[in-house]
Every structure is written in C-alpha cells, then in structure tokens.
Structure 1
Amino acid sequence: MTLKLYAHPFSSYCQKVLIALYENDTPFEYLTLDDQKNGAALEALWPIKKFPVLVDEERSILEASIIIEHLDLHHPGPVRLIPEDPRAALDIRLMDRFFDNYIATPMQKIVLDRLRPEQDRDPYGVTEARAMLDKAYGWLDRTLADRQWANGAAFSLADCAAATSLFYADWAHPMGDRYPRVRDYRRKLLARPSFARAVDEARPYRPYFPLGAPDRD
C-alpha cells in the first residue's frame, strides 16, 4: 500500500518529513491541504488537525519526528536518519529536540504574533522569543565548530529539523554575520537536494508569510 502524507508545502514541520522522504526516494501519495477534501480527511484522522500526518496501511503516524522514526524503521533507504547504536541515536534526538524547541518554537511565536489583531499582540513574548533565538544561534555556532552536519559527519533526523527551522527562523529573526557557522550551515542545508526540492515546492506560498518573505533563498 502506498504511504499517504497529509501536509502543506509551506509548513516547516511538513518540510521536515518531506526531506526524509526525498532523501530516500520513498514513494508516497502527497495529499496537500490546499484541497478541502484532504483537510476533512485529516480532521477525521486527527481531530486536533495538526500536520503532517502519515498514513501507513491502517495506521496514522503523528508528529514530524515520529513520522521520520517510523520511516527509518519500516521504510528504510540508503540514507539512515537515526543510527542503530542507541547512544548515538540519543545524540541525534537531542539535536532534533534542540531545533524544534529552541529554534522552531520561538520563530513560530514571532510569526504567529503578527497574525493576531494588533490590540492582542504580545510584544514582551516576541522580545523573549528573539532573545531565545539569539541564545540558540550562539550555542549552535559554537557546537558546529567541529561538525560537518548537526551531529557530526552524517546527515540525520537532526538535519531534517535544522533545515526547516533555520530557514524560517532567519526570515523571522535574521542571524546576519553574527553567527558565521550557523549561516554557512543554513546555506549548506539549502544546497541539499532533498531540502532544495521542498523549498522550491513552497515558493508559490511565500506571499502568505506574515512578516514578509525576504527576497532571497
């Protein structure tokens, strides 16, 4: 049975899963949420209506990191995104959590705040989110000193998380030249064919970015 992915091309967490699928040329049916019919099907599978959701036979798999773990276990390809060694796998999962919690989450705070009515915005919360991004950029810049990818020499789940979170975070809170290793790592991720494909698929939606998409990338 073909894998089915309910996703939207402009969503960072959907792109995270798409990178994993594209890395291994894993066949799947892409059910984009521009189609109202697919949106209704997603809600029936997962009433919270968060995406992506992967359907594998009769099973629905939720949350981007879990979907990638599922793919690595049940539909493995030449690019293994989680090491078999459990100690090494813990390090990968730690970096995955870092990118989701300390890059993607504050980035989303900044973006979603702009969608609120002006009288309901949270300037203090946005200031906190920007401060968190600066702390995270700084830590990552030091951590990348002796690494080719997020956790060493091999592309992994952590890089799937890094690609999308750093892509949008730099739009919301530009890193400039203050964090050269992070800047160069982001460029390297953008050159990765799997992520470049996901970015290209999302280009038509850039006018919807609440802060205004920069004329780059």
Structure 2
Amino acid sequence: MSLAVYGHYFSSYTQKVLIALYENGTPFEFRSISPETPEHSAEWLRRWPLRKFPLLVDGDRNIIETSIIIEYLQLKHPGPVRLLPEDPLAALDVRFLDRFFDLHVMNATQHAVDGALTGDPVKRQDGMKLAVEKLERAYGWIEGQLGGRTWAVGNDFTLADCAAAPSLFYADWTHRIPESCPQLRAYRARLLARPSVARAVDGGRPYRKLFPLGAPDRD
C-alpha cells in the first residue's frame, strides 16, 4: 500500500507535510477531507477520532502530528533532502524552530481566524487584537535570528522551513510583516519561491474564499 495523506489543501498543517513530501518527490495518495468526499472523512475519523489533520497512513500504521509525520518520513521513506540533521544538537535547533513557527506564529494567527469564524464582531476584534500582539513579538524575535541565514537554521532547507512556510504565509495575510523586519520579509519571499512551497500554495489557491479574514489579492 502506498502512503496516503488525509487533509485539506488549504490547511496550513496539511501544507507543512505536503512540502516535506514534495521536497523529496515521495509518492503518496492525497485523500481530501471535504463534504464532497464523505468516504475519506469517515475513514479519517475511524483512524483518528480526535478530528485533527493531516493524518499519514503507511500500511497499518497511522502517523499523526505534523512534526512526527515528517520525522517518520525521513526514517522510513528517506529522500535526497534530509529535513532533520544527523547531528543531535543541530537537530535540536531545527526542532526548536519547528515548534516556534507552529506555536508562536501559526497558533497566534489562529486566534484571529477563530474569532472571525464565530461571526461575532466583538470576538473577531478580540481575536485579531490577541493575534497581532503575539505576532508582533514573534516577528521581532525571529527577525533577530535570520541574519546571514538562507533558511531557518542556515543553508539547508529543513523541517523548520516546512513549518515556517505555511505559518508565515497565513500570518502575513492576518497581520503584515512590517518593513522593520526586512530579514523576515525576505525569508518569507524565499520560502514562497521554493518549488515545494509554491506547489503547496497552488494546491490551496482554489479555496482562498474560505479564509475568514478575507484573502488578500497577492501571493
């Protein structure tokens, strides 16, 4: 049985895993979770009733949580691009920035998205206020780390960049990266120009109307 991914092309966390798969040209079947494919939704919930995606299926094994999925792929289905360094301390740096982008950029963005999805103007405003506060701190910190680096931890594209790409893609839609963060703005542009990232972004392009804050006419 080939690898199968359950998720949605517009989902940031699904995109994170897709970028890793695209980087290495790893064959897989994509099973979209949507009202049009109830059979995929039923199978996904049978395998993972906590209702979170993406889910990677490899034979009889279900692999959940994006960072674990990408590490699993490197162990069991390695390709030419090593997304986690062999050196344990270097790998720790990559894992840290992977968590940084998920927890302090993507999750911060989610406050604004969740507030907008309620349809309540007050909750929308409160969610956006919290998101902006957290993103400003995150932007400022990562700006100070990127000097002299092509990618998140240096010259090699890693797990951390798989996390950074969708996080910064949607975060900038939510609260623009300011001109006072030129390193971060340039890094986001490099990510979007990377073929694996561009492919993931293009996969979600038909669904931009779903972005509850209003998708900007760019990227």
User: Structure 1-normalised TM-score?
Assistant: 0.97
CA–CA distance in structure 2, aligned partners of residues 136 and 167 of structure 1: 14
- Where does residue 196 of structure 1 map in the other structure? 198
- Where does residue 165 of structure 1 map in the other structure? 167
Shift of 1:128: 2.6
Identity among equivalent pairs (%):
56
Shift of 1:122: 6.1
- Where does residue 93 of structure 2 map in the other structure? 91
- Where does residue 40 of structure 1 map in the other structure? 42
User: Structure 2-normalised TM-score?
Assistant: 0.96
CA–CA distance in structure 1, aligned partners of residues 122 and 54 of structure 2: 28
Which residue identity is paired with 1:59? R
- Where does residue 55 of structure 2 map in the other structure? 53
Matches within 5 A, 1:180-195: 180-195=182-197
Matches within 5 A, 1:123-138: 123-138=125-140
Shift of 1:123: 3.9
- Where does residue 70 of structure 2 map in the other structure? 68
Which residue identity is paired with 1:145? G
Q: Could you list the per-position Cα deviations for residues 89-137 of structure 1 after superposition, in whole angstroms to 9, with x for gaps in the alignment?
A: 1000000010001000010111111011316716445323211100110
Contact 2:116 2:127 in 1 (8 A): no
Q: Give secondary structure in 1 for the equivalent of 2:31.
A: strand
Size of the alignment, in residue pairs?
Answer: 217
Unaligned runs of 5+ in 2: none
CA–CA distance in structure 1, aligned partners of residues 191 and 211 of structure 2: 21
Contact 2:112 2:130 in 1 (8 A): no
After the TM superposition, which parts of structure 1 deviate over 3 Å for at least 4 consecutive aligned residues?
122-126
- Where does residue 14 of structure 1 map in the other structure? 14
Contact 2:54 2:65 in 1 (8 A): yes
CA RMSD of aligned residues (A): 1.2
Change (3 A) 1:119 1:171: closer
Contact 2:115 2:126 in 1 (8 A): no
Q: Could you list the per-position Cα deviations for residues 163-185 of structure 1 after superposition, in whole angstroms to 9, with x for gaps in the alignment?
A: 00000000011114221111110
CA–CA distance in structure 1, aligned partners of residues 124 and 192 of structure 2: 32
Change (3 A) 1:122 1:200: closer
- Where does residue 210 of structure 1 map in the other structure? 212
Contact 2:113 2:127 in 1 (8 A): no
1:24 aligns with 2:63: no
CA–CA distance in structure 2, aligned partners of residues 62 and 150 of structure 1: 24
CA–CA distance in structure 2, aligned partners of residues 65 and 18 of structure 1: 12
Which residue identity is paired with 1:182? L
CA–CA distance in structure 2, aligned partners of residues 148 and 52 of structure 1: 28
Bigger shift: 113-122 or 65-74? 113-122
Bigger shift: 52-61 or 170-179? 170-179
Unaligned runs of 5+ in 1: none
